[in-house]
Amino acid sequence: MTSASSFSIHSTLIHETPSAAKRRVVFLHGLFGRGKNFTRIANALLPEAESLLVDLPNHGQSEWTADLSYEELADLIAGHIRETSGEHLPIDLVGHSMGGKVAMTLALRHPELVRRLVVIDISPTNAISGRGQFEHLLGSLATINLATLEKRTDAAAQLKPLIPDDGVRGFLLQNLRRGDEGFAWEPNLHLLRAKLPTIMSFPEVGDANYTGPVLWVGGSESHYISDSDEPTMRSLFPKTIRMTVRGAGHWVHAEKPEEVIAALRGFLLSE
Per-residue pLDDT reduced to its tens digit, 86-130? 889 999 999 999 999 999 999 999 999 999 999 999 999 986 655
Region of residue 262 (phi > 0: left; psi between -120 and 50: alpha; otherwise: beta):
alpha
- Do 68 and 25 lie in a common domain? yes
- Do 44 and 118 lie in a common domain? yes
Query: Is the pTM above the cut of 0.75?
Result: yes
- Do 98 and 211 lie in a common domain? yes
Pairing label, strands 23-28, 49-54? parallel
Q: How many CB atoms lie within 10 A of CB 47?
A: 11
Average pLDDT across the chain, whole number: 93
Provide DSSP, 102-148: HHHHHHHH-GGGEEEEEEES--SS---TTHHHHHHHHHHHHTS-GGG
Q: Is the pLDDT of residue 167 over 90?
A: no
- Do 178 and 213 lie in a common domain? no
- Do 157 and 32 lie in a common domain? no
- Do 186 and 210 lie in a common domain? no
Q: Is the pLDDT of residue 131 over 80?
A: no
- Do 167 and 119 lie in a common domain? no
Domain of residue 17, residue span:
4-127+202-268
- Residue 180 has a pLDDT of 81
- Do 158 and 33 lie in a common domain? no
Structural domain count, the chain:
2
CB burial of 224-247 (b: ≥16 within 10 Å; e: otherwise) equals bbeeebeeebeebbeebebbebee
**Contact yes or no for 264/231 (Cβ under 8 A):** no
Domain stops at, among 194, 225, 246: 194
Distance CA 3, CA 75 (A): 9
- Do 104 and 233 lie in a common domain? yes
Distance of CA 40 to the CA centre of its chain: 15
pLDDT (tens digit per residue) in 34-93: 999 999 999 999 999 999 999 999 999 999 999 999 999 999 999 999 999 988 999 999
CATH number at residue 261: 3.40.50.1820
- Residue 17 has a pLDDT of 85
